[in-house]
A and B are shown apart, each in its own frame.
Chain A
Amino acid sequence: RPPPPSAGRPSVEECVDLWEGVFGERGVSEPRLSSEYIVAHVLGANTLASLARRGLAAVLTEAQTQRVWDLCARRLERMPVQYVIEEWDFRDLTLKMRPPVFIPRPETEELVGLVLTDLQHSRGPDQRGAVLASGPSLRFLEVGCGSGAISLSLLKSLPQARAVAVDRSPAAVSLAEENAHRLGLQDRLDLMELDVMTDAQAVLSHCGLFDFIVSNPPYVFSADMAALEPEILRFEDPGALDGGADGMDVIRHILSLAQQILPVGGKVYLEVEPRQPEMLQQRPGAGLQYTATHRDFSHRPRFCVLQRGRG
């Protein structure tokens, strides 16, 4: 059981320190940050740093104290902070988070960056405006959209682009829809509840050709699933993580779909497990060429770019 709220009204600092201690004792991961984010959230801020401007000696109201205690109790159950405070930031967006929809990881922010840079380069730096202006023709597909982070972030940066995003989890589709509405991007995003493993034909018949495909598909090796931290195992949809024996189940379906819905030269941008770029490089799938591997901020090979070849 969590400790009861102290008799007097605690200050921000006291709250953060107290819960850091409790989390630490109970073996909750990232005890300091968890405590900081929850207290900051209750006080209407994103981080303790942005709260610092009001002073850490500020005292919480009774209602705020109660709320901190309620939320921290959830964190004690190992619920991820992102679910506890029901939101998280992805690049410049703030997204609603709800279990069991997959929580976007920091690596995926880089995947979006990679796509944006690549789009600029492939059209030439001097035609950078053209990417934006020729927007109506720019149309992409996201497989396994989860909360919608990738699609929404790309649509935000490419004001003329349109997207189709699919996910096999109804919870994910409805959360992505909610996020799209909150960000005012719903008009350019079509969401479909669909499993590319079984309903690839539906994408083909409904949507026609796309300029590119982007995906952060489930890529964890089945054998590694059991070792995941309790935050992930207990709260996140395993279907968004488990990629089969070699983590490639969904990836293979995406690649076979790619050669049907991409024009020649159209690209697939994938976030993968560090062992997979090599596997993909050796067998990129029919009709596709492997073009590049990019490393993430931890220098792990994390992103693969493939391209539809001729013939």
Chain B
Amino acid sequence: MRNFVRQFSLRFYKHCFSLAVPPAARSLRQLACNQHPSVRAGPLRIERLQHALRKNLRRHCCSGTRDLLQEEPVKKHLEGLFREYEQVTHRLQNPALSDSERRALSRRQVELLPMASVLEETERAWKDLKDVEAILQSAEGKDDQMVMLVEEEQNIIAKRIEALQRQLLENLVPSDRHDGSDVILEVAAGRTTGGDICQQFTREIFEMYLAFASYKNWAFEVLNYTPAEYGGLHHAAARVSGENVYKYLKYEGGTHRVQRIPEVGLSSRMQRIHTGTMTIIVLPQPSEIDIHLDPKDLRIDTFKSKGAGGQSVNTTDSAVRIVHIPTGTTVECQQERSQLHNRDTAMKMLRAKMYQQITEKETEKRHSFRKLQVGTRSQSERVRTYNFTQDRVTDHRIGCVARDIKEFLRGGEPLDEFIRQLLKYAEKEALLEMLENSSPSKAGE
């Protein structure tokens, strides 16, 4: 528990004191907390849980004097949910319910069940812990072996509580409705001088995600691929499908930087460390996107023949590019030998992009203070650096570091671990955001 908290609070400190803290984050800092009475003192089960939760949260909050009524919303929220669960369960026993009522209630019960059972289980764990502590007290100065055993038991229960609290956090955090979506992953080399190093890097990164997809058992379909000189990659796009693809890839979007002494290409002549960039865009592709695109707004570029076309021309050029003129959004597809097929795929990509643009504003508003931004807006943001000369990968958002770039680029465990850290961090941020947004006392700040 302590480790977990320490890790997290370290990151939170960084978060609070980093130079680019948006105003909302500063006000969050004011959520800060005093040292609080022991967690174990709480009389009510919910209350006790709240204390634990608050303690957990409080560790991340670093200064300020006001007491923490701000977490009242969470407490209320949890209490409310549990009460609702009990009420729903009670009402479901009423035989006079209509079918539709029963269905609605059952659905709600299923929704609430995970939270309710975690709460109950946590309650039991606290009770166990209290019992064990009582035993410890009464055993003071007596049987050493017995004390050791009981202490061991105490540890186990503490760990269980820690796990339950993490679960509770997970249940509390509003889930992203696109988490289960498939994804369109776009990569593009940066245009800094010595473009070849960017293109080389772009290819390595694209192949890393390809490997990551197979590590995760996801399908990876390349939609377009434009190679560059010296074995580099200019830009490419792929559809990644499988379980929770968006959830795991959403924080990969942004500008990725490379620092290395080039091995190939023009820049390799000078044995200097070069810096290059590439960007990644991650678009959720919900199965049903209802966006109307006016054909008048679209420019569809395909192979254009001279002369009469049709039978008088035999072309194998099936590539399609679609430009949405009002926004300048461009997609291309050359995955298939059928032009029509490519056009369908390109339209799907375009819809996904337009969808992203439309929902982005709303998301931005909601997440204005989050450090982990999702979406194309963050393209300009440098999210990660691959420093080959120091053999190190750094995520600038959470200060996460990995050694051994070669291994990292194989797209296996190390990348997965990075992503897990990001997700954990994002979860906390979402929770803090929920606190912020649901607290009426914060409205005036």
Contact = CB atoms under 8 A, between A and B. Distances in A.
The answer on A and B forming one complex is yes
Interface of A: 13, 30, 33-34, 37, 46-50, 52-53, 55-57, 80-82, 88-92, 102-103, 105-107, 109-110, 113, 216, 218-220, 224, 227-229, 231-232, 236, 240-241, 271, 273-274, 296-298, 300, 302
Interface string B300-323: 101111011111111111100000
The 7 closest A-B pairs by CB, nearest first: A89-B337, A109-B340, A89-B338, A106-B339, A52-B225, A49-B225, A49-B222
B78 interface: no
B316 A109 contact: no
Contact of A56 (B224, B231, B336): B231
Given A30-B315, A298-B305, A107 B338 contact: no
A103 B314 CA distance: 8
A49 B340 contact: no
Given A30-B317, A49-B225, A274-B308, A13 B340 contact: no
A47 B334 contact: yes
Given A53-B221, A110-B340, 14 more contacts: A37-B337, A49-B223, A52-B222, A56-B227, A81-B316, A88-B337, A89-B336, A102-B311, A224-B308, A224-B312, A273-B310, A297-B339, A298-B309, A300-B308
B393 interface: no
11 contacts: A47-B337, A48-B225, A49-B224, A89-B337, A91-B340, A106-B340, A109-B339, A224-B312, A241-B312, A273-B310, A296-B309
A300 to B, nearest CB: 6
A47 B334 CA distance: 8
A156 to B, nearest CB: 13
Given A109-B338, A297-B339, A298-B304, A50 B314 contact: no
A268 to B, nearest CB: 17
A53 B312 contact: no
A52 B232 CA distance: 12
Contacts of A241: 311-312
B22 to A, nearest CB: 39
A34 B315 CA distance: 10
Contacts of B220: 53
B161 interface: no
A49 B334 contact: yes
B382 interface: no
B314 A46 contact: no
A29 to B, nearest CB: 8
Contacts, number: 121
Contacts of B303: 106
B338 A90 contact: yes
Interface in B273-328: 300, 302-305, 307-318
A55 to B, nearest CB: 6
A167 to B, nearest CB: 15
B321 to A, nearest CB: 12
Interface string B69-110: 000000000000000000000000000000000000000000
Contacts of B318: 89, 106
Contacts of A46: 335-337
Nearest to A40: B337
Most chain A beta carbons < 10 A, residue from B220, B304, B308, B343: B308
Contacts of A33: 316-317
B172 to A, nearest CB: 39
B346 interface: no
B183 interface: no
Contacts of A53: 210, 220-222, 238
Contacts of B335: 46-47, 49-50
A232 B312 contact: yes
Contacts of B338: 89-92, 106, 109
A103 B312 CA distance: 11
A296 B308 CA distance: 11
B349 to A, nearest CB: 13
A30 B316 contact: yes
B23 to A, nearest CB: 44
B314 A105 contact: yes
A104 to B, nearest CB: 10
Contacts of B224: 49
B300 A47 contact: no
B341 interface: yes
Contacts of B225: 48-49, 52
